[in-house]
Structure 1
Amino acid sequence: MHQCSLFILTLLCVSVKDISGSWEEWWTYDGISGPGFWGLINPQWSMCNKGRRQSPVNIEPDKLLFDPWLRDIQFDKHKVSGVLQNTGQSLVFRVEKDSKHQVNISGGPLSYRYQFEEIYFHYGMEDNRGSEHQIDHHTFPGEIQLYGFNKELYHNMSEAQHKSQGIVGISLMVQVGEPFNADFRLITSAFNKVTYRGASFPIKHLPLSSLLPNTQQYLTYEGSTTHPGCWETAVWIIFNKPIYISKQEMYALRQLMQGSQLTPKAPLGNNARPVQPLHHRTVRTNINFNKQGLQGSNNCPDMYRNMHYTAVESSDDLISVSASDPTLKMTSIEPPTNEETNSTTTSNPVAQGTQLAVQKR
């Protein structure tokens, strides 16, 4: 009986070891191994179910706080080389470890320099879904996330993802349209090379900074990685302009599969974690939504114009600022004039009576 018990215990240990070794391989975005079960699959991923600072989130207009001390985001101009891989859960680009030139990310809300490490591609099988973060409950066709680790305090991503201030996540919303970025094609042209799980393709001399949208406006908050184990060590930066991918490139992206060529399984798309509760976290921005025209002198009380977030048809901004006449109702929104755009004040950093809308195309 004693020998039988030892034999059963040995089998259990071997089984647990085998399962733990495959955890990274079989978590998914749906079913019994989907986001609702990540924290139960692996005890080390418990934050996925128990965390209070999880990502992604929906950006709510009444939670935005203008922070005049937020700086511009800085990216090194170095080119990077790495490997684009279909992991079965996502399409991921990882930079070469022995690269001579690494790209550092600094500025903005960051107190340290972060070394760029990888890119995750999240996208939907239809244009009305795909991004992980949402703007006023609006979902974009896709979202590209650039991850870096705190190189001043930690040695690598594996160490940093468990530590305070360990990770930065840069979020780029993706719209379907005609792109004007030849450098982005270094990645999109390789989509058909990584159709099946485990497939990889080398990408050389990628100028990371040129992939970014032409803006220094952004939103930022404290959150987590959006894949297991959901470590709450990430500073998120969401740029206020999207990047573009053509219909043909999006079609090629949607041909990627979760499985091998013999058993392709389901498409790789729809790989977005649901939005998580904000739990009273502050979402800061460097977008000065208090730009407004003032009448009278500073010595007298004034009737400030109501400021609104609104859709601007001629702009690519995710969040736009415009002013309306104070005598009009909140629903009567007009685009800003040049005079209104150029006048600024930072006397009250909290948005008053703001509402958020998404840029429509």
Structure 2
Amino acid sequence: MLQCSLFVLTLLCISVKDITGSWEEWWTYDGISGPGFWGLINPQWSMCNKGRRQSPVNVEPEKLLFDPWLRDIQFDKHKVSGILQNTGQSLVFRVDKDSKHQVNISGGPLSYRYQFEEIYFHYGLEDHRGSEHQIDHHTFPGEIQLYGFNKELYHNMSEAQHKSQGVVGISLMVQIGEPINKDLRLITSAFNNVRFRGSSFPIKHLPLSSLLPDTQQYLTYEGSTTHPGCWETAVWIIFNKPIYISKQEMYAIRRLMQGSQISPKAPLGNNARPVQPLHHRTVRTNINFNRQGVPVSSNCPDMYRNMHYTATQWPREHSMRYRSAEDMSMLQPN
């Protein structure tokens, strides 16, 4: 009887250890382990269900607030190396932490320097869906998110993601078409090497700053990481211009699978968390419509006149529209 009890106790300890060590493997983007249940899977992820500054969000153009004090975004020009991995939930690039030169992100709405850490790839299995953030309820085929941590206040991402102003999220909307980002091919050419869960592939000398669209126009708001545990410590910057990949590259990423080669399960795509309520948060922008020759109503929110955040309606002529591939801008006044 004693031996039996010890055997059961040993099994119980092993099971608890397995559960504790596998939180990262339990969550998905659908079903009973999907976004609506993330906060129930792990008590440390409770913000996923209870938070009021969650991401992603739908950006409503008529409620954007022009902020004349927003600066240009600064990226170090260093190249980075790291590992591209299929986690079973997403495709993730993580930088080598022992690299001699790290990429710092500063400027814009940021009060500190942030050190680049990782890239998450969100995409759909069809062209009409894929991005997490939306613009006037428009969804892009994909979204690439660059994360960095506040290196001036914290030691690493694990510490920073729990702390105030700990994380920056840079959102790059992905469109299919021309001109294709040539430097992004260092990653897209490796898609076939990470087709199954747990597979990884080294990426060398990635010029991170070259992945960014050719613009300094952006939107910004305070939110959370879009994956568990949804920590509300992120400053989000959404560039006002997509980057482009080819149909062949999109086909390749859509072939990635959630499972192993033995048990592939479902395709990895459609890995986007639904948009979350703004709860009276303000989305600011450095796009100055006054200077672009568009007549502005006296009701248009403008921090030149209003030193506090407001949410008044813009006239319809100030709504943003999606432009052609030649234009490339996501948001422009009519």
TM value normalised by structure 1: 0.82
Change (3 A) 1:306 1:290: farther
Q: Which residue of 2 aligns with 1:84?
A: 84
Q: Which residue of 2 aligns with 1:198?
A: 198
Q: How far apart are residue 311 of structure 1 and its match?
A: 4.0
Q: Which residue of 1 aligns with 2:299?
A: none
Contact 1:141-1:174 within 8 A present in 2 as well: yes
Contact 1:20-1:42 within 8 A present in 2 as well: no
* Residues 237-252 of structure 1 mapped to structure 2, 5 A cutoff: 237-252=237-252
Change (3 A) 1:180 1:277: same
Q: Which residue of 2 aligns with 1:309?
A: 320
* Residues 20-39 of structure 1 mapped to structure 2, 5 A cutoff: 20-39=20-39
SS in 2 for 1:232: coil
* Residues 275-294 of structure 1 mapped to structure 2, 5 A cutoff: 275-291=275-291, 292=293
CA distances 1:185-236 after superposition (whole Å, capped 9, x unpaired): 1011000010000110001000000010000000000000000000000000
Amino acid at match of 1:316: M
Q: Distance in 1 between matches of 2:116 and 2:142?
A: 21
CA distances 1:296-349 after superposition (whole Å, capped 9, x unpaired): xxxxxxxx9964433444521111023xxxxxxxxxxxxxxxxxxxxxxxxxxx
Return the index of the structure with the highest Cα Rg.
1
Q: Is 2:312 the partner of 1:319?
A: no
Q: Distance in 2 between matches of 1:305 and 1:260?
A: 50
SS in 2 for 1:18: helix
- Worse-superposed segment, 279-288 or 170-179: 170-179
Contact 2:180-2:243 within 8 A present in 1 as well: no
Q: Distance in 1 between matches of 2:179 and 2:243?
A: 8
Aligned residues: 314
Q: Distance in 2 between matches of 1:185 and 1:305?
A: 39
* Unaligned residue ranges in structure 2 (runs of 5+): 296-314
Amino acid at match of 1:195: R
Q: Is 2:171 the partner of 1:171?
A: yes
Change (3 A) 1:25 1:56: same
Q: Is 2:268 the partner of 1:257?
A: no
Q: How far apart are residue 10 of structure 1 and its match?
A: 7.1
SS in 2 for 1:251: helix
Contact 1:70-1:109 within 8 A present in 2 as well: yes
Amino acid at match of 1:43: P
Amino acid at match of 2:212: L
CA RMSD of aligned residues (A): 2.2
Q: Distance in 2 between matches of 1:315 and 1:197?
A: 37
Q: How far apart are residue 9 of structure 1 and its match?
A: 7.4
Amino acid at match of 1:83: I
Q: How far apart are residue 25 of structure 1 and its match?
A: 1.2
Q: Which residue of 1 aligns with 2:311?
A: none
Change (3 A) 1:50 1:260: same
Contact 2:321-2:330 within 8 A present in 1 as well: no
Amino acid at match of 1:36: G
- Worse-superposed segment, 199-208 or 311-320: 311-320
SS in 1 for 2:145: strand
Q: How far apart are residue 6 of structure 1 and its match?
A: 9.4
Amino acid at match of 1:188: T
Q: Which residue of 2 aligns with 1:221?
A: 221
Contact 1:290-1:307 within 8 A present in 2 as well: no
Change (3 A) 1:180 1:306: closer
* Residues 145-156 of structure 1 mapped to structure 2, 5 A cutoff: 145-156=145-156
Q: Which residue of 2 aligns with 1:58?
A: 58
Change (3 A) 1:2 1:163: farther
Q: How far apart are residue 180 of structure 1 and its match?
A: 3.4
Change (3 A) 1:6 1:92: same
Q: Distance in 1 between matches of 2:179 and 2:318?
A: 32
TM value normalised by structure 2: 0.89
Amino acid at match of 1:153: L
Contact 2:221-2:284 within 8 A present in 1 as well: yes
Q: Is 2:181 the partner of 1:181?
A: yes
SS in 1 for 2:92: strand
Q: Distance in 2 between matches of 1:2 and 1:52?
A: 51
CA distances 1:244-286 after superposition (whole Å, capped 9, x unpaired): 0100000000000000000000000000000001000000000
Q: Distance in 2 between matches of 1:165 and 1:153?
A: 9
Q: How far apart are residue 20 of structure 1 and its match?
A: 1.9
Q: Is 2:159 the partner of 1:159?
A: yes
Contact 2:62-2:318 within 8 A present in 1 as well: no
Identity of aligned pairs, percent? 85
SS in 2 for 1:97: coil
